[in-house]
Structure 1
Amino acid sequence: MLELKNIDVFYDNIQALKEVNLTVGEGEMVTLIGANGAGKSTTLRAISGLNKPKKGEIKFKGRVISSLKASDIVRMGISHVPEGRRIFANMTVMENLEMGAYIRGDRGNLKRDYDEVFSLFPRLKERKNQIAGTLSGGEQQMLAIGRALMAKPKYLLLDEPSMGLAPLIVKEIFSILENINKLGTTILLVEQNANMALNVTDRAYIIKNGKIELEGRSKDLLKDEKVKKAYLE
């Protein structure tokens, strides 16, 4: 289980997260939704070790990880797909995937894992020798997810995977995320597309001004009048 307990995060003197409490159980697909600047990305960055909490603790499978380096957190089984994809634009698709597997010691299993990524994203296989910066936005998002999967994560953190993509591509990406979850990877999804996120996840948290304002089963929050008015209309 991934657990955040009373997490405070600051950027200089500005408090971005205020006593955030959140859990993601093994096998779940959970979403964190909210407006721009609400603290969604900061929450993911805190989990992955990029922003250290000033207060509180983050536990993964019973171990406190709040003070660990980001590279050590990846080795423990948490991969982060950042907002804006941030692929290596001047490298090929295959080279990007190889970078995702950089920390792994079991190099003998890489071919099997490339095949798994290509089964999820057939378009990446077709373009495996193509320079990543020449891919479409949707293909770049697929590559960013595929690169993260090459680290063989137990938990996958996704930051705004639908950003800037056409509706049909968004639908395809979310369908693939559901498949990844069914194959055994736990997912924490940050999304502004609240309707789509609530329709594919088990549970949801709503964050506002750095604080968790509401939590519950996704299907229940879809019917909540406050949620509808603020995020679904």
Structure 2
Amino acid sequence: MMLEVKDLCVSYGAIKAVRGISFYVDEGEIITLIGANGAGKTTTLNSISNIIKKQSGSIFFNGNDITAVHPDKIVRQNLIQVPEGRRIFANLTVLENLELGAYLRKDKDGIERDMERVFGFFPRLKERIRQNAGTLSGGEQQMLAMGRALMAQPKLLLLDEPSMGLAPILVDEIFEIIRRINADGTTILLVEQNAFKALSIADRAYVLETGTVTKSGKASDLIADDSVKSAYLGG
């Protein structure tokens, strides 16, 4: 397996945000974590990237224990996160944001190829290459955040709420691009409030409630599950 999370626990003071969850991601999959606000989804991703401190548990990536590895060294292993809220560099151009995604790389030809690959997924970024990122629409900023991550050549891409704040037509576009990125060879772990969309493109899914995994299985099975339907799919 590519990623294995074992008995992960994370607390914020007295609040237990994640309570001993375990799950795995195999190479080539799209795996989604779904659940209500406060279920522990973003905390889980931030724990994998070691942005926040874990209370206990272990995380393995491609067989290596990365539980206590510094975030920049996790990036060097090609495990890349697109954070909630995009976190683009608003005062830099689209091109400069994308170049920063490749800051660890020295292969100039490879960087140029990947830049064209990103523009293949996101043609609008090429149209706006000299614009400051802060002048982009919300959907374009999400595309830029994903494009910047792709410039780091992720083996595993962590996506945190990619559809947040987007118009429905843009949500459809973003999810189609996620599917294409996966088909092009990138494994994806997706956290997403839009459970229907997430389950529609995922291979498998885990349902989180108050920091614990309450259900897991094939996404196609969970999308047909009555309890999942009533809790997350509007009926």
Q: Which amino acid aligns with 2:68?
A: S
Q: Deviations over 1:34-77 (max 9, x none)?
A: 00011000000001110132111000011110100110001101
- Residue of structure 1 in register with 2:90 after alignment: 89
- Residue of structure 2 in register with 1:76 after alignment: 77
- Residue of structure 1 in register with 2:177 after alignment: 176
- Residue of structure 2 in register with 1:167 after alignment: 168
- Residue of structure 2 in register with 1:47 after alignment: 48
Q: How many residues align?
A: 233
Instruction: Say whether the 8 Å CA contact 1:202–1:218 is kept in structure 2.
Output: yes
TM-score, normalized by length of structure 1? 0.98
- Residue of structure 2 in register with 1:225 after alignment: 226
- Residue of structure 2 in register with 1:206 after alignment: 207
Q: Which amino acid aligns with 1:214?
A: K
Q: Which ranges of structure 2 fall in alignment gaps of 5 or more residues?
A: none
- Residue of structure 1 in register with 2:146 after alignment: 145
- Displacement, 1:184? 0.5
Cα distance in 2 for partners of 1:163, 1:12 equals: 27
Instruction: Say whether the 8 Å CA contact 1:141–1:161 is kept in structure 2.
Output: yes
Q: Deviations over 1:136-155 (max 9, x none)?
A: 00000000000000000100
Identity of aligned residues (%): 58
Superposed, which structure 2 residues align to 1:19-168 within 5 Å? 19-168=20-169
SS in 1 for 2:188: strand
* Moved beyond 6 Å, runs of 4+: none
Q: Deviations over 1:72-120 (max 9, x none)?
A: 0011011100001110001000000011111223234211110000011
TM-score, normalized by length of structure 2? 0.98
Cα distance in 2 for partners of 1:9, 1:86 equals: 23
Q: Which amino acid aligns with 2:15?
A: I
RMSD (Å) for aligned C-alpha atoms: 0.8
